[in-house]
Structure 1
């Protein structure tokens, strides 16, 4: 097994090849790299790839929009 940061893998293999290996669009790979997400890809002996993201918990990166007047939060049915 070999581990490599996602941006390095994209530089080696190309965005389209990495996207195909993960079953996502090239745009999704581009966005993950561009936004600086900390993703490490493991290349397994059989040629399959798995990715793991390291992220702080709790993560408050994306600001939540405050409720405006007249807006009501509906509880999730789950």
Structure 2
């Protein structure tokens, strides 16, 4: 029983670590976009496309992660 609880907690911790990594990578992409905008104004279209893709990916991953967490909580 204790092993099963530790196993479920490890899965939940893994899900949250993935979510934290996605937030950090999103911040890094945003910083990169700001730096590119500051140094070269010719990359405006690239910046808009890149920011949209990364934000959409983050939103999808947050939705998937929250779904997994709710499924995990409902199975306990």
TM-score under structure 2 length normalisation: 0.24
Question: When you count helix as a share of all residues, which structure comes out higher?
Answer: 2
TM-score under structure 1 length normalisation: 0.24
Question: When you count strand as a share of all residues, which structure comes out higher?
Answer: 1
